[in-house]
Structure 1
């Protein structure tokens, strides 16, 4: 699939494994690493929420910086800051203040994320964008197969030294990736045009443009529904990524080295689905597939909630179902959001969408920390609720589109 892509999409995705592979190694152990260094569950939730709140600010200016600096320059500079510097801080961390500082620096990741999305899709035909995001997920899936290497490092060196090695590997790989990708891509046509017109940041203009973007979003019914689904999806993703590893080790009594196999199970199941199932699906029924995917994710989460300590079969089955659901939801959801934001306002509109998402999901860490302290299963009950509401939103969206299509047809018949 990668060979079918061209231009910036190919240049961006060619180097993506150098980011995703080391990320998939350390992300499984990030919160457990914090616990080992004396950070409490509630402090972990606070740090997660702090990072998300700060990302609201960086998202607000990310569109301006992407337009002012150009997609390529903004991507390179802020990736080096938000990821290369942050991984170094995580590498040498020995108390909560290192993690707080890293959260502040890592919050600038929203600037390169906006720039990367623009670079990825602006010169790509809308009909090819679902393929682009499918390739991205394929890369993530294959990289996830290497996650057990993290478990091997943990079993050999113990948790803290092993995770420090993972962060060191991530620093080297990601930094080289940022530089290589910079030379493999070119500024988009829209980026060149806007860069030449963009002036210094004026807060009054930024706020005025932001309000205009909010009005555009509110008037864009398809984007509004997908934004609701996207917010709920990111909410559950934040809560799950923060507390799942802790839940598996402390509540379900699995070993630290063993939990690294679950990302590999996810990747293997997803890979099989991508090869044998996804090519057979009808692209015109993407909303229906998203609803099915959300219900599958709900079933996976229920299995996780009812699993008893040491009950590996339940967890493996839950992991496989979550993989099946996610591959139906993620590429279709991303493509739907991007297709709803066309034109030269993409960077600014995407930054405002990011602000709205972060404003809604920023309490996820605090809520998760409070809920986990009451009962380790409660965060996953909340996640199950997010899947249910998302499916309902999509059903409402489908029915609204059907009514609109019927009205248009009736008007055409009447005037005809």
Structure 2
């Protein structure tokens, strides 16, 4: 009990030490994460109950990534031109509030298509959010910031059983419809309050002034950052890990809940228990182990995280209906949660620490562009794969996480070789 108290106090201390913007943003983030985690669990099933076909759900995922692909190059330009705060306010309203309201009124595929287009604008506000979160922070502070971020995000999933209760009582359609409406209203309140209490980052202030006094907002600066990324091999490797990790996530999560319902025959209200277990494991891991890991070699820790995710993905392939299969899915969830806790605590920090302040907005917007470019066809491919074989999306998810392991290992080897060469030269 004393140890638990000490670990929680350590997490609270880490939260207090991070920069004021990150502290304020993360303090209010549960207003977003709780209702979002509740309605997103059943969003795919909800759409199928309203007549959307399985392959159309994959198509919506592709369209979402297409919109993100088109808007990503403008994200870095907009946040440097108008500032992180202003872009975050407007971007979140369009990408989340308008999306939620359209989703509430949706009656067919066309409605969900329009909602998806608005949701695709999230790349612009996401960049502004990430910059406000971790600018003006040291390298180790960024690991603490992203650990707390993962902690806060997973708090939302603790309320997933409540969604299961609502589904059992009111039915899937009514429960999802009510939850998405509450989500839209709460996010509306959140973005206004957050805008009022946060400050523009020092880097953001400097870049806004420079852009207002010149023409550095043009695409030439974006293209220069592309060249910078290509020359910086370590940066390129971590960007590729982020890209392929996201591809694996789409293959796994787009049809995971549908597979639990159709492939493993779990009742609707039981499905919500798995995100809850995932979050409990993640929160425990962040409280007790992440603080001890942040001083270790970040690349090596990231490799272990991806190994856990890969094992979790692979185990889905051997899970069958029945009691043993249910137990195995619990194991899948626990291992995946540990891997994800490590991965998301470190990967963004490693990426942010791999680039200087002046280039960070453009490099992150380029990485988001590449994520959308590679992810764009994945939803549709996943849909066709699921139609062909319910397990094929999870085979591909495992393949891409294995690819990430190889890339992280290459990054570790490069760093070791570089260190050995420096020692030899010395």
User: In the aligned structure 2, how far is the partner of 1:141 from the partner of 1:156?
Assistant: 25
Shift of 1:205: 7.0
Select 1:195's aligned residue among 199, 204, 208. 208
| Cα distance between partner residues in 1 of 2:123 and 2:273 | 30
Question: Are 2:56 and 1:43 equivalent residues in the alignment?
Answer: yes
User: What stretches of structure 1 of length at least 5 have no aligned partner?
Assistant: none
Instruction: Name the structure 2 match of 1:256.
Output: 268
Q: 1:56 aligns with which of 62, 66, 69?
A: 69
CA contact (8 A) 1:151 1:258 kept: yes
Distance, in Å, in 2 between the alignment partners of 1:344 and 1:243 is: 39
Match of 1:136 in 2: 149
- On the 8 A contact 2:299/2:411 being kept in 1, the answer is no
Who is 1:85 aligned against?
98
Residue in 2 that maps onto 1:319 = 333
Residue in structure 2 matched with residue 105 of structure 1 by the alignment:
118
Q: Is the 8 A contact 1:236 1:386 kept in 2?
A: yes
What's the Cα RMSD here?
1.7
Q: Which runs of 5+ in 2 are unaligned?
A: 1-11
In the alignment, what sits opposite 2:83?
A: 70
Q: What is the CA deviation profile of residues 95-134 of structure 1, one whole-angstrom value per residue up to 9, with x for unaligned ones? A: 0001110111111111111111111111122220000000
Counterpart Cα distance in 1 of 2:298 and 2:209: 38
Range with greater deviation from structure 2 (286-295 or 125-134): 286-295
Select between 122-131 and 273-282 the one with higher mean Cα deviation: 273-282
- 1:328-348 deviations in whole A, cap 9, x for unaligned? 211111110011122222212
Matched, 1:405 2:419: yes
Alignment of 1:102-251 (within 5 A): 102-198=115-211, 206-251=218-263
User: Does the aligned pair in 2 maintain the 1:67–1:195 contact within 8 Å?
Assistant: yes
Is 1:297 aligned to 2:319, yes or no? Answer: no
- Tell me if structure 2 keeps the 8 A contact 1:56–1:355: yes
Between the aligned partners of 1:357 and 1:275, the Cα distance in structure 2 is 30
After superposition, the C-alpha distances for 1:178-225 in whole angstroms (9 at most, x for unaligned) are: 1111112101122122212325998x9744223211111111121111
Paired residues of 2:310 and 2:398 also in contact (CA < 8 A): yes
Task: Tell me the matched-pair count.
Answer: 411
1:326-345 to structure 2, matched below 5 A, reads 326-345=340-359
8 Å CA contact 2:77, 2:217 repeated in 1: no
Which range moves more in the overlay, 277-286 or 301-310?
Answer: 277-286
In structure 2, how many angstroms separate the alpha carbons of the residues matched to 1:282 and 1:344?
25
Partners of 1:89 and 1:98 within 8 A in 2: yes
Q: Quick one: distance in 2 between partners of 1:109 and 1:200?
A: 28
Distance 2:142 2:43 in 1: 32
What CA distance in whole angstroms lies between the structure 2 residues aligned with 1:220 and 1:326?
A: 26
Q: Does 1:346 align with 2:354?
A: no
CA distance, structure 2, for counterparts of residue 86 and residue 27 of structure 1: 13
SS in 2 for 1:345: helix
Alignment-derived partner of residue 20 in structure 1: 33
